[in-house]
Structure 1
Amino acid sequence: MALALKDRQSHTYGDYLNWPDDVRYELIDGDAYLMSLAPDLPHQDVAGEIYFQTRQALQGKSCRAFIAPVDVRLPKAQEADESIDTVVQPDVLVVCDGNKLDKRGVRGAPDWVVEVLSPSTAGHDQIKKRQLYERHGVREYWLVHPVDRVLTIYSLADGEFGKPQIYQLEGETQVGILPEIVIRWDELAARLPTDY
Protein backbone atom coordinates (compact mmCIF):
# COMPACT_ATOMS: atom_id res chain seq x y z
CA MET A 1 0.00 0.00 0.00
CA ALA A 2 1.42 3.40 -0.95
CA LEU A 3 1.30 6.30 1.47
CA ALA A 4 -1.06 9.11 0.54
CA LEU A 5 0.45 12.27 -0.90
CA LYS A 6 -0.63 15.59 0.59
CA ASP A 7 -0.98 17.05 -2.90
CA ARG A 8 0.91 17.28 -6.19
CA GLN A 9 2.95 20.35 -5.23
CA SER A 10 6.64 20.40 -4.36
CA HIS A 11 7.29 21.33 -0.72
CA THR A 12 10.23 22.36 1.43
CA TYR A 13 11.07 22.23 5.11
CA GLY A 14 9.95 25.87 5.27
CA ASP A 15 6.44 24.74 4.23
CA TYR A 16 6.60 21.75 6.58
CA LEU A 17 7.29 23.96 9.61
CA ASN A 18 4.03 25.84 8.99
CA TRP A 19 1.72 22.82 8.73
CA PRO A 20 -0.61 21.96 11.65
CA ASP A 21 0.87 19.76 14.37
CA ASP A 22 -2.05 17.33 14.37
CA VAL A 23 -1.05 15.82 10.99
CA ARG A 24 2.38 14.28 10.39
CA TYR A 25 4.15 14.25 7.04
CA GLU A 26 7.51 13.20 5.70
CA LEU A 27 9.04 15.01 2.73
CA ILE A 28 10.97 13.07 0.12
CA ASP A 29 12.30 15.11 -2.79
CA GLY A 30 9.55 17.68 -2.23
CA ASP A 31 6.67 15.17 -2.09
CA ALA A 32 4.74 15.22 1.21
CA TYR A 33 3.67 11.76 2.40
CA LEU A 34 0.97 11.49 5.07
CA MET A 35 2.18 9.51 8.08
CA SER A 36 -0.06 7.64 10.49
CA LEU A 37 -0.75 9.54 13.70
CA ALA A 38 -0.40 6.59 16.05
CA PRO A 39 1.36 3.37 15.06
CA ASP A 40 -0.06 0.21 16.61
CA LEU A 41 1.18 -1.15 19.93
CA PRO A 42 3.41 -3.95 18.52
CA HIS A 43 5.15 -1.39 16.27
CA GLN A 44 5.79 0.87 19.25
CA ASP A 45 6.94 -2.05 21.40
CA VAL A 46 9.54 -3.04 18.79
CA ALA A 47 10.77 0.52 18.22
CA GLY A 48 10.83 1.26 21.95
CA GLU A 49 12.76 -1.90 22.79
CA ILE A 50 15.38 -1.29 20.08
CA TYR A 51 15.77 2.30 21.29
CA PHE A 52 16.03 1.18 24.94
CA GLN A 53 18.73 -1.41 24.22
CA THR A 54 20.58 1.03 21.95
CA ARG A 55 20.46 3.85 24.49
CA GLN A 56 21.86 1.55 27.18
CA ALA A 57 24.67 0.35 24.89
CA LEU A 58 25.68 3.92 24.05
CA GLN A 59 25.88 5.23 27.62
CA GLY A 60 29.11 7.16 28.00
CA LYS A 61 29.75 7.13 24.23
CA SER A 62 29.69 10.05 21.81
CA CYS A 63 27.01 8.53 19.55
CA ARG A 64 23.40 9.37 20.44
CA ALA A 65 20.20 7.36 19.95
CA PHE A 66 16.81 8.90 19.16
CA ILE A 67 13.29 7.58 18.66
CA ALA A 68 10.53 9.04 16.44
CA PRO A 69 9.31 11.62 16.01
CA VAL A 70 12.60 13.43 15.33
CA ASP A 71 13.01 15.42 12.13
CA VAL A 72 15.96 14.29 10.02
CA ARG A 73 16.66 16.90 7.34
CA LEU A 74 18.58 15.54 4.36
CA PRO A 75 19.98 18.44 2.32
CA LYS A 76 21.18 17.90 -1.24
CA ALA A 77 24.05 20.37 -0.72
CA GLN A 78 24.52 23.37 1.58
CA GLU A 79 21.02 24.84 1.13
CA ALA A 80 19.36 26.66 4.03
CA ASP A 81 17.08 24.56 6.23
CA GLU A 82 13.92 26.17 4.85
CA SER A 83 14.92 25.10 1.31
CA ILE A 84 15.56 21.43 2.12
CA ASP A 85 13.01 19.22 0.35
CA THR A 86 13.58 15.97 2.28
CA VAL A 87 12.63 15.51 5.94
CA VAL A 88 11.99 12.06 7.41
CA GLN A 89 11.26 10.63 10.85
CA PRO A 90 12.91 7.21 11.22
CA ASP A 91 11.59 5.00 14.01
CA VAL A 92 15.03 4.71 15.66
CA LEU A 93 18.30 6.37 14.66
CA VAL A 94 21.84 6.87 15.88
CA VAL A 95 23.97 9.92 15.11
CA CYS A 96 27.68 9.88 15.94
CA ASP A 97 28.60 13.36 14.63
CA GLY A 98 27.37 15.90 17.17
CA ASN A 99 27.67 18.66 14.54
CA LYS A 100 24.60 17.17 12.83
CA LEU A 101 22.40 17.84 15.89
CA ASP A 102 20.52 21.06 16.58
CA LYS A 103 17.31 22.12 18.32
CA ARG A 104 15.22 21.10 15.28
CA GLY A 105 16.62 17.57 15.14
CA VAL A 106 19.22 16.16 12.77
CA ARG A 107 20.70 17.76 9.66
CA GLY A 108 22.47 15.14 7.58
CA ALA A 109 22.44 11.37 7.41
CA PRO A 110 22.28 9.39 10.65
CA ASP A 111 24.83 6.59 10.94
CA TRP A 112 22.24 3.89 11.69
CA VAL A 113 18.51 3.93 10.90
CA VAL A 114 15.84 1.42 11.95
CA GLU A 115 12.37 1.36 10.43
CA VAL A 116 9.72 -0.94 11.92
CA LEU A 117 7.41 -2.05 9.14
CA SER A 118 3.66 -1.60 9.36
CA PRO A 119 1.23 -2.72 6.66
CA SER A 120 0.62 0.92 5.70
CA THR A 121 4.33 1.85 5.42
CA ALA A 122 6.12 -1.36 4.40
CA GLY A 123 6.47 -0.60 0.68
CA HIS A 124 7.46 3.00 1.38
CA ASP A 125 10.17 1.95 3.86
CA GLN A 126 11.50 -0.93 1.74
CA ILE A 127 11.72 0.97 -1.54
CA LYS A 128 11.53 4.76 -1.36
CA LYS A 129 13.25 5.23 2.00
CA ARG A 130 15.87 2.55 1.28
CA GLN A 131 16.83 4.43 -1.89
CA LEU A 132 16.80 7.73 -0.01
CA TYR A 133 18.99 6.49 2.85
CA GLU A 134 21.43 4.93 0.39
CA ARG A 135 21.67 8.16 -1.62
CA HIS A 136 22.33 10.25 1.50
CA GLY A 137 24.94 7.91 2.99
CA VAL A 138 23.23 6.17 5.92
CA ARG A 139 25.87 3.61 6.85
CA GLU A 140 23.49 0.88 8.01
CA TYR A 141 19.73 0.49 7.53
CA TRP A 142 17.60 -2.05 9.39
CA LEU A 143 14.04 -3.03 8.45
CA VAL A 144 12.25 -4.92 11.20
CA HIS A 145 9.24 -7.00 10.08
CA PRO A 146 7.18 -7.69 13.26
CA VAL A 147 4.59 -9.78 11.42
CA ASP A 148 7.09 -12.13 9.80
CA ARG A 149 9.60 -11.77 12.68
CA VAL A 150 12.36 -10.99 10.20
CA LEU A 151 15.17 -8.44 10.17
CA THR A 152 16.61 -7.12 6.90
CA ILE A 153 19.95 -5.29 7.08
CA TYR A 154 21.47 -3.08 4.39
CA SER A 155 25.10 -1.97 4.80
CA LEU A 156 26.64 0.86 2.79
CA ALA A 157 29.81 0.03 0.84
CA ASP A 158 31.25 2.28 -1.85
CA GLY A 159 28.16 4.50 -1.72
CA GLU A 160 25.67 1.66 -2.27
CA PHE A 161 23.65 -0.75 -0.19
CA GLY A 162 24.79 -4.21 -1.12
CA LYS A 163 22.78 -7.40 -0.99
CA PRO A 164 20.72 -7.42 2.21
CA GLN A 165 21.34 -9.79 5.09
CA ILE A 166 18.16 -11.39 6.44
CA TYR A 167 17.74 -12.85 9.92
CA GLN A 168 14.97 -14.22 12.15
CA LEU A 169 14.07 -12.10 15.17
CA GLU A 170 15.75 -14.48 17.59
CA GLY A 171 18.91 -14.58 19.62
CA GLU A 172 20.82 -11.35 19.12
CA THR A 173 22.07 -9.17 16.29
CA GLN A 174 25.06 -6.86 16.45
CA VAL A 175 25.01 -3.53 14.61
CA GLY A 176 27.79 -3.83 12.03
CA ILE A 177 28.97 -0.21 12.20
CA LEU A 178 28.46 0.10 15.98
CA PRO A 179 29.57 -3.24 17.46
CA GLU A 180 28.84 -2.07 21.01
CA ILE A 181 25.12 -2.25 20.15
CA VAL A 182 23.68 -5.76 20.29
CA ILE A 183 19.92 -6.12 19.99
CA ARG A 184 18.48 -9.09 21.88
CA TRP A 185 15.26 -10.35 20.30
CA ASP A 186 13.89 -13.29 22.27
CA GLU A 187 11.99 -11.46 25.02
CA LEU A 188 10.63 -8.92 22.54
CA ALA A 189 9.58 -11.57 20.00
CA ALA A 190 7.78 -13.48 22.75
CA ARG A 191 5.67 -10.36 23.46
CA LEU A 192 4.58 -9.87 19.85
CA PRO A 193 1.07 -11.11 19.08
CA THR A 194 0.83 -14.19 16.90
CA ASP A 195 -2.21 -12.83 15.04
CA TYR A 196 -0.53 -9.52 14.18
Structure 2
Amino acid sequence: MALPRATGHRFTYADYRQWPDDERWELIDGVAYAMAPAPTISHQILTGQLFRQIDQALDGTPCRALIAPVDVLLPAANEADEQVTTVVQPDILVVCDPAKVTENHIRGAPDWIIEVLSPATARHDHLTKRSLYERAGVREYWLVHPVDRVITLYTLKDGLYGGPEIVEMAGERSPAIFPEIVIRWQAVLDKLPDHSAAPVDQHP
Protein backbone atom coordinates (compact mmCIF):
# COMPACT_ATOMS: atom_id res chain seq x y z
CA MET A 1 0.00 0.00 0.00
CA ALA A 2 1.02 3.62 -0.47
CA LEU A 3 1.65 4.89 3.05
CA PRO A 4 2.42 8.40 4.32
CA ARG A 5 6.11 9.07 4.81
CA ALA A 6 5.39 10.95 8.03
CA THR A 7 2.53 12.51 9.95
CA GLY A 8 2.13 15.98 11.37
CA HIS A 9 4.07 17.78 8.65
CA ARG A 10 2.78 19.25 5.41
CA PHE A 11 5.40 18.65 2.74
CA THR A 12 5.94 20.86 -0.30
CA TYR A 13 7.61 20.45 -3.66
CA ALA A 14 10.70 22.09 -2.16
CA ASP A 15 10.91 19.23 0.38
CA TYR A 16 10.16 16.63 -2.29
CA ARG A 17 13.07 17.77 -4.45
CA GLN A 18 15.51 17.15 -1.59
CA TRP A 19 14.64 13.49 -1.18
CA PRO A 20 16.99 10.75 -2.53
CA ASP A 21 16.78 10.05 -6.26
CA ASP A 22 16.45 6.32 -5.62
CA GLU A 23 13.20 6.82 -3.70
CA ARG A 24 9.92 7.55 -5.48
CA TRP A 25 7.20 9.49 -3.70
CA GLU A 26 4.05 11.41 -4.51
CA LEU A 27 2.59 14.31 -2.50
CA ILE A 28 -1.14 14.74 -2.07
CA ASP A 29 -2.22 17.75 -0.04
CA GLY A 30 1.13 17.78 1.72
CA VAL A 31 1.11 14.08 2.66
CA ALA A 32 3.87 11.94 1.16
CA TYR A 33 3.00 8.52 -0.27
CA ALA A 34 5.61 5.91 -1.15
CA MET A 35 5.16 4.62 -4.67
CA ALA A 36 5.18 0.89 -5.44
CA PRO A 37 8.49 -0.95 -5.94
CA ALA A 38 9.79 -1.48 -9.48
CA PRO A 39 6.84 -2.36 -11.75
CA THR A 40 6.44 -5.84 -13.21
CA ILE A 41 7.57 -6.55 -16.76
CA SER A 42 3.94 -6.80 -17.85
CA HIS A 43 3.23 -3.38 -16.33
CA GLN A 44 6.20 -1.88 -18.15
CA ILE A 45 5.32 -3.44 -21.50
CA LEU A 46 1.66 -2.43 -21.24
CA THR A 47 2.58 1.13 -20.32
CA GLY A 48 5.16 1.36 -23.10
CA GLN A 49 2.84 -0.01 -25.77
CA LEU A 50 0.02 2.33 -24.78
CA PHE A 51 2.39 5.29 -24.79
CA ARG A 52 3.70 4.35 -28.26
CA GLN A 53 0.21 4.29 -29.78
CA ILE A 54 -0.81 7.55 -28.10
CA ASP A 55 2.40 9.36 -28.97
CA GLN A 56 2.15 8.36 -32.64
CA ALA A 57 -1.49 9.45 -32.82
CA LEU A 58 -0.60 12.89 -31.42
CA ASP A 59 2.22 13.49 -33.89
CA GLY A 60 1.73 16.87 -35.54
CA THR A 61 -0.68 18.15 -32.88
CA PRO A 62 0.02 20.64 -30.06
CA CYS A 63 -0.60 17.87 -27.53
CA ARG A 64 2.21 15.74 -26.17
CA ALA A 65 2.26 12.40 -24.40
CA LEU A 66 4.66 11.76 -21.54
CA ILE A 67 5.52 8.61 -19.61
CA ALA A 68 6.60 8.21 -15.98
CA PRO A 69 8.62 9.34 -14.22
CA VAL A 70 7.64 12.97 -14.72
CA ASP A 71 6.55 15.33 -11.93
CA VAL A 72 3.07 16.77 -12.31
CA LEU A 73 2.44 19.71 -9.97
CA LEU A 74 -1.21 20.37 -9.13
CA PRO A 75 -1.25 23.74 -7.34
CA ALA A 76 -4.17 24.71 -5.14
CA ALA A 77 -4.06 28.32 -6.37
CA ASN A 78 -1.24 30.52 -7.67
CA GLU A 79 1.45 29.45 -5.22
CA ALA A 80 5.05 29.21 -6.38
CA ASP A 81 6.29 25.79 -7.50
CA GLU A 82 8.29 25.32 -4.30
CA GLN A 83 5.14 25.74 -2.20
CA VAL A 84 2.93 23.30 -4.14
CA THR A 85 1.78 20.45 -1.88
CA THR A 86 0.49 18.02 -4.53
CA VAL A 87 2.93 16.33 -6.91
CA VAL A 88 2.10 13.09 -8.74
CA GLN A 89 3.78 10.83 -11.29
CA PRO A 90 1.11 9.24 -13.53
CA ASP A 91 2.14 6.30 -15.70
CA ILE A 92 1.04 8.14 -18.86
CA LEU A 93 -0.27 11.65 -19.35
CA VAL A 94 -1.32 13.86 -22.23
CA VAL A 95 -1.10 17.63 -21.96
CA CYS A 96 -2.19 20.03 -24.69
CA ASP A 97 -1.47 23.42 -23.12
CA PRO A 98 2.21 24.27 -23.81
CA ALA A 99 2.13 26.81 -20.96
CA LYS A 100 1.89 23.89 -18.52
CA VAL A 101 5.09 22.27 -19.78
CA THR A 102 8.47 23.23 -18.33
CA GLU A 103 11.85 21.56 -18.67
CA ASN A 104 11.53 19.94 -15.24
CA HIS A 105 7.84 19.25 -14.71
CA ILE A 106 4.23 19.79 -15.71
CA ARG A 107 2.36 22.48 -13.78
CA GLY A 108 -1.40 22.11 -13.91
CA ALA A 109 -3.83 19.35 -14.74
CA PRO A 110 -3.05 17.17 -17.78
CA ASP A 111 -5.93 16.57 -20.15
CA TRP A 112 -5.73 12.77 -19.91
CA ILE A 113 -4.11 10.51 -17.32
CA ILE A 114 -3.66 6.74 -17.47
CA GLU A 115 -2.61 4.67 -14.46
CA VAL A 116 -1.66 1.02 -15.02
CA LEU A 117 -2.62 -0.63 -11.75
CA SER A 118 -0.47 -2.72 -9.47
CA PRO A 119 -1.79 -4.60 -6.40
CA ALA A 120 0.14 -2.32 -4.02
CA THR A 121 -1.43 0.91 -5.29
CA ALA A 122 -4.76 -0.09 -6.87
CA ARG A 123 -6.91 1.23 -4.02
CA HIS A 124 -4.90 4.46 -3.89
CA ASP A 125 -5.35 4.98 -7.64
CA HIS A 126 -9.07 4.17 -7.54
CA LEU A 127 -9.97 6.35 -4.58
CA THR A 128 -7.42 8.96 -3.56
CA LYS A 129 -6.12 9.80 -7.02
CA ARG A 130 -9.52 9.64 -8.69
CA SER A 131 -10.77 12.27 -6.25
CA LEU A 132 -7.62 14.33 -6.74
CA TYR A 133 -7.78 14.26 -10.54
CA GLU A 134 -11.45 15.17 -10.49
CA ARG A 135 -10.75 18.15 -8.23
CA ALA A 136 -7.77 19.25 -10.34
CA GLY A 137 -9.78 19.14 -13.57
CA VAL A 138 -8.18 16.20 -15.39
CA ARG A 139 -10.60 15.78 -18.28
CA GLU A 140 -10.29 12.01 -18.61
CA TYR A 141 -8.84 9.35 -16.30
CA TRP A 142 -8.24 5.71 -17.22
CA LEU A 143 -7.29 2.92 -14.83
CA VAL A 144 -5.92 -0.09 -16.69
CA HIS A 145 -6.21 -3.45 -14.91
CA PRO A 146 -3.51 -5.76 -16.35
CA VAL A 147 -4.74 -8.93 -14.63
CA ASP A 148 -8.49 -8.54 -15.15
CA ARG A 149 -7.97 -7.10 -18.64
CA VAL A 150 -10.49 -4.30 -18.11
CA ILE A 151 -10.28 -0.51 -18.14
CA THR A 152 -12.13 1.81 -15.76
CA LEU A 153 -12.82 5.15 -17.44
CA TYR A 154 -13.84 8.48 -15.95
CA THR A 155 -14.72 11.54 -18.05
CA LEU A 156 -15.13 14.97 -16.50
CA LYS A 157 -18.54 16.59 -17.02
CA ASP A 158 -19.55 19.79 -15.26
CA GLY A 159 -16.54 19.40 -12.98
CA LEU A 160 -17.41 15.86 -11.86
CA TYR A 161 -16.54 12.34 -13.00
CA GLY A 162 -19.77 10.63 -12.03
CA GLY A 163 -19.99 6.85 -12.34
CA PRO A 164 -17.22 4.97 -14.13
CA GLU A 165 -17.47 3.10 -17.41
CA ILE A 166 -15.84 -0.34 -17.26
CA VAL A 167 -14.92 -2.00 -20.55
CA GLU A 168 -12.90 -5.00 -21.65
CA MET A 169 -9.36 -4.59 -22.91
CA ALA A 170 -10.39 -5.78 -26.37
CA GLY A 171 -11.03 -4.38 -29.82
CA GLU A 172 -10.45 -0.65 -30.16
CA ARG A 173 -11.11 2.24 -27.82
CA SER A 174 -10.74 6.01 -28.09
CA PRO A 175 -10.77 8.45 -25.19
CA ALA A 176 -13.88 10.60 -25.19
CA ILE A 177 -11.82 13.80 -25.36
CA PHE A 178 -9.48 12.55 -28.11
CA PRO A 179 -11.59 10.57 -30.61
CA GLU A 180 -8.71 10.71 -33.08
CA ILE A 181 -6.61 8.49 -30.81
CA VAL A 182 -7.50 4.83 -31.34
CA ILE A 183 -6.07 2.30 -28.88
CA ARG A 184 -5.80 -1.12 -30.51
CA TRP A 185 -5.78 -3.45 -27.54
CA GLN A 186 -4.76 -6.63 -29.31
CA ALA A 187 -1.53 -5.02 -30.44
CA VAL A 188 -0.83 -4.22 -26.79
CA LEU A 189 -1.79 -7.65 -25.45
CA ASP A 190 0.29 -9.45 -28.08
CA LYS A 191 3.42 -7.93 -26.55
CA LEU A 192 2.76 -9.21 -23.03
CA PRO A 193 4.62 -12.27 -21.69
CA ASP A 194 2.77 -15.57 -22.05
CA HIS A 195 2.54 -16.03 -18.28
CA SER A 196 0.49 -12.84 -17.98
CA ALA A 197 -2.23 -14.09 -20.30
CA ALA A 198 -5.64 -14.44 -18.67
CA PRO A 199 -7.48 -17.77 -19.01
CA VAL A 200 -9.74 -17.95 -22.03
CA ASP A 201 -13.26 -19.27 -21.59
CA GLN A 202 -13.83 -21.88 -24.30
CA HIS A 203 -17.61 -21.99 -23.79
CA PRO A 204 -19.87 -19.99 -26.09
TM-score normalised according to structure 1 size: 0.96
Contact 1:101 1:107 in 2 (8 A): yes
Counterpart CA distance in 2 for 1:117 and 1:3 is 13
Q: Does 1:4 align with 2:7?
A: no
Shift of 1:162: 1.7
The residue number in structure 2 matching 1:46 is 46
Counterpart CA distance in 1 for 2:188 and 2:94 is 20
The residue number in structure 2 matching 1:104 is 104
Question: Which secondary structure state, in structure 1, belongs to the residue aligned with residue 48 of structure 2?
Answer: helix
Q: Does 1:113 align with 2:113?
A: yes
- Following TM superposition, where does structure 1 have runs of at least 4 consecutive aligned residues deviating by more than 4 angstroms? none
Shift of 1:195: 6.6
The residue number in structure 1 matching 2:32 is 32
Shift of 1:36: 2.5
Counterpart CA distance in 1 for 2:38 and 2:198 is 20
Counterpart CA distance in 1 for 2:111 and 2:16 is 24
| Identical columns (%) | 55
* Uncovered stretches (5+) of structure 2, i.e. residues with no partner: 200-204
RMSD of aligned alpha carbons: 1.3
Which one has the largest radius of gyration? 2
Deviations 1:138-158 (A, max 9, x none): 000000000100001000000
Contact 1:11 1:30 in 2 (8 A): yes
The residue number in structure 2 matching 1:167 is 167
Structure 1, 29-38 or 150-159: larger mean CA deviation: 29-38
The residue number in structure 2 matching 1:71 is 71
Contact 1:74 1:84 in 2 (8 A): yes
Counterpart CA distance in 2 for 1:65 and 1:189 is 20
Counterpart CA distance in 2 for 1:187 and 1:84 is 39
Counterpart CA distance in 2 for 1:3 and 1:169 is 26
Counterpart CA distance in 2 for 1:184 and 1:165 is 18
Contact 1:149 1:189 in 2 (8 A): no
Shift of 1:187: 2.8
Contact 1:143 1:153 in 2 (8 A): yes
* Uncovered stretches (5+) of structure 1, i.e. residues with no partner: none
Q: 1:194 is matched with which residue: 181, 189, 197? A: 197
Structure with the higher fraction of residues in strand conformation: 1
TM-score normalised according to structure 2 size: 0.92
Task: Write out aligned runs for 1:176-187 (5 A).
Answer: 176-187=176-187
Question: Which secondary structure state, in structure 2, belongs to the residue aligned with residue 134 of structure 1?
Answer: helix
Shift of 1:64: 0.3
Counterpart CA distance in 2 for 1:186 and 1:77 is 42
